[in-house]
């Protein structure tokens, strides 16, 4: 056995040695003519590619963005303080690329593929960071749900695999939490996750990585990070690099979820870069092609058809608004590119409604068709219930007397709002969500409005103990048949008798 292996190895080596040829490697070299603010003009370096990586003699990397007859304008990827006028520059002949493949799982890399977690990274598999989006004929409609485990989202703003759903809201409204919780909820599924941090504080990124690690989510995730301390060019590259990593998986038929946290900072980094390159500024001083910046990025997320491996990339881009203003330049751009948005509101967040989803302003344009039929069965009226409740609650707050029907509606609405609250890192399974909503529809929580959280928790524990078969069936098939619905209703009534009616007497 061992001899056989040795023979194979030596035969392989002999073959390689016989066919070995020394080939000259030709590099084009230029000279730095001007440097400042992270931007460099290089002369005597013609015929470069757009986006090509340049290597300076001091070991610093740059990216060619302005191609001129005799040279290039480039931005520096690393810290620029060592680059000086007269220094030699070498064109590498390749545009920026990142490693892809299974070796990346559990790793943290920067946008040009250098590991940030202190461990070596060995791979020969690379993809260029910029690639064109899949063609129209290579795609198929979104048809499988991607469960977030967050009741308010899965029931009213469902997301499908291959969809692009924007998470938008002011600062500190729980945007990152929703995205990270969605990653945590993929533990049981076959979805690989990529978290791309752009322009955030390094401490925040470290915290997110910590959350992922603590919940064993790094076992199926990759983190691509360019923090606020990195150059604008690095921040600009980060989401494209992360998408290339996702494409590496999706082309092999895998399902991938990618989070861009956040694209507002990405646009700002691009603005900085463009202004330094003296490109003409437009609205809000962003360059003219800032729409294309995000559209070409998000178009790469898609659901591929069977001929192309049946994989998918689901994107959750995050946008930070200022003062709830959704009609600013970047937010409107990204809203128009994505297939819907989850709108988070400061007021809701501070009044204790967390996750602070404003269901009136949130939509999912394609996810409904991918929703589990069990969920569709029990979630149909929720949006209307909520909007009626909000309208009514505004009137009732004047303190006027209300009739019984209105009071009942207010109670029901209050129950729903309370039910939709959910702490961080506590995803529900499909069956748990369906059970809670069925209980709500059948007014099981009547009389327990004050201690609703505790009752809901007790209900879930009760179901877990007594109805594990039913739970498994619903979770596996995604369906709630008539007989299962009857069964669930009966169990819920039993629970009400034992735990709510029994106690209130
Ligand atoms: P930033 O604008 O700083 O990026 P963000 O919008 O991403 O903020 P998060 O960092 O996700 O918001 O959350 C802000 C704070 O709210 C955190 O302290 C987090 O623990 C808390 N939080 C988020 N979601 C919930 C929740 N469902 N229940 C309780 N607390 C939450
Ligand atoms: Mg955040």
**How many whole angstroms separate alpha carbon 279 and alpha carbon 491?**
66
Best residue for ligand 1 mutational test, from 166, 174, 260 (most atoms within 8 Å of Cβ): 174
Please report the pLDDT score of residue 505 as a whole number.
46
Mean pLDDT of the 133-158 span: 95
Please report the pLDDT score of residue 503 as a whole number.
61
pLDDT cut 70: percent of the chain above it: 98
pLDDT in tens, 160-200: 999 999 999 999 999 999 999 999 999 999 999 999 999 99
- Tell me the whole-structure pTM to 2 decimals: 0.92
Our answer on whether the CB atom of 371 is closer than 6 Å to any ligand 1 atom is: no
Query: Residue 219 gets which letter from DSSP?
Result: G
Between CA 298 and CA 425, with CA 211 as vertex, the angle to 5 degrees is 85
Please report the pLDDT score of residue 320 as a whole number.
97
pLDDT in tens, 366-392: 888 899 999 999 998 999 999 999 988
Closest residue (by CA) to atom 29 of ligand 1?
423
Considering only CA atoms, which of 287, 330, 367 is closest in space to residue 198? 330
- In angstroms, what is the span from residue 334 Cα to ligand 2's centroid? 17
Extract the tokens encoding 406. Answer: 């209105």
What residues act catalytically?
Answer: 365
Please report the pLDDT score of residue 399 as a whole number.
62
Our answer on whether the CB atom of 174 is closer than 6 Å to any ligand 1 atom is: yes
Quote the strand ranges of 234-308, DSSP E: 255-261
Instruction: Return the biggest CA–CA distance within the chain.
Output: 95
Which residues have a Cβ under 8 Å from the Cβ of 10 and sit 6 or more positions away?
none
Please report the pLDDT score of residue 16 as a whole number.
85
**How many whole angstroms separate alpha carbon 164 and alpha carbon 246?**
14
- In angstroms, what is the span from residue 204 Cα to ligand 1's centroid? 11
Q: How confident is the model at residue 226 (pLDDT cuts 50, 70, 90)?
A: very high
Closest residue (by CA) to atom 8 of ligand 1?
172
Extract the tokens encoding 250. Answer: 């999706």
Read out DSSP for 312-356?
EEEEEEEEE-STT-TTSHHHHHHHHHSSEEEEE-HHHHHTT-SS-
pLDDT in tens, 51-83: 899 999 998 999 999 998 888 999 999 877 889
- In angstroms, what is the span from residue 346 Cα to ligand 1's centroid? 11
Q: How confident is the model at residue 28 (pLDDT cuts 50, 70, 90)?
A: confident
Please report the pLDDT score of residue 297 as a whole number.
97
Please identify every residue whose CB atom is under 5 Å from ligand 2, which is an ion: 176
pLDDT in tens, 272-328: 999 999 999 999 999 999 999 999 999 999 999 999 999 999 999 999 999 999 999
């Amino acid at each position: 056995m061992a001899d056989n292996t040795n023979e194979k190895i030596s035969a392989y080596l002999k073959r390689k040695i016989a066919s070995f040829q020394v080939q000259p490697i030709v590099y084009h070299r230029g000279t730095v003519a001007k440097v400042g603010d992270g931007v460099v003009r290089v002369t005597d370096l013609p015929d470069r590619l757009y986006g090509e990586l340049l290597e300076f003699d001091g070991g610093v990397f740059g990216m060619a963005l302005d191609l001129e007859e005799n040279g290039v304008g480039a931005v520096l990827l690393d810290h620029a303080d060592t680059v000086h006028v007269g220094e030699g520059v070498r064109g590498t002949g390749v545009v920026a690329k990142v490693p892809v493949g299974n070796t990346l799982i559990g790793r943290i890399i920067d946008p040009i593929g250098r590991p940030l977690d202190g461990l070596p990274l060995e791979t020969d598999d690379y993809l260029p960071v910029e690639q064109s989006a899949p063609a129209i004929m290579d795609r198929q409609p979104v048809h499988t749900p991607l469960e977030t485990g967050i009741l308010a989202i899965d029931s009213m703003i469902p997301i499908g695999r291959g969809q692009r759903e924007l998470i938008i809201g002011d600062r500190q409204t729980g945007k990152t939490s929703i995205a990270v919780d969605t990653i945590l909820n993929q533990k049981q599924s076959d979805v690989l996750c990529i978290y791309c941090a752009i322009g955030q504080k390094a401490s925040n990124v470290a915290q997110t990585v910590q959350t992922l690690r603590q919940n064993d989510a790094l076992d199926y995730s990759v983190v691509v990070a360019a923090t606020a301390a990195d150059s604008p060019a690095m921040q600009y590259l980060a989401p494209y690099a992360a998408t290339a990593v996702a494409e590496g998986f999706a082309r092999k038929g895998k399902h991938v979820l990618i989070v861009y946290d956040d694209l507002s900072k990405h646009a700002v980094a691009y603005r900085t870069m463009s202004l330094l390159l003296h490109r003409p500024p437009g609205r809000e001083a962003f360059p003219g092609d800032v729409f294309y910046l995000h559209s070409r990025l998000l178009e790469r997320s898609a659901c591929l058809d069977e001929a192309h491996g049946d994989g998918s990339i689901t994107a959750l881009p995050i946008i930070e608004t200022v003062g709830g203003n959704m009609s600013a330049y970047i937010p409107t751009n990204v809203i128009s590119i994505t297939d819907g948005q989850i709108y988070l509101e400061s007021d809701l967040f501070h009044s204790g409604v967390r996750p602070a989803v404003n269901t009136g302003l949130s939509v999912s344009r394609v996810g409904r068709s991918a929703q589990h039929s069990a969920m569709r069965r029990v979630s149909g009226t929720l949006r209307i219930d909520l909007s009626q409740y909000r309208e009514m609650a505004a009137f009732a707050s004047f303190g006027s007397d209300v009739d019984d029907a209105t009071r009942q509606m207010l109670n029901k609405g209050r129950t729903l709002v309370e039910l939709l609250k959910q702490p961080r890192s506590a995803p529900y399974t499909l069956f748990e969500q369906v059970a809670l909503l069925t209980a709500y529809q059948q007014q099981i929580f009547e009389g327990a409005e004050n201690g609703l959280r505790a009752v809901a928790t007790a209900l879930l524990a009760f179901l877990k103990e007594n109805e594990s078969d039913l739970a498994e069936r619903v979770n596996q098939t995604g369906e709630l048949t008539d007989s299962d619905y009857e069964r669930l209703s009966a169990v819920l009534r039993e629970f009400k008798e034992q735990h709510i009616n029994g106690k209130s007497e």
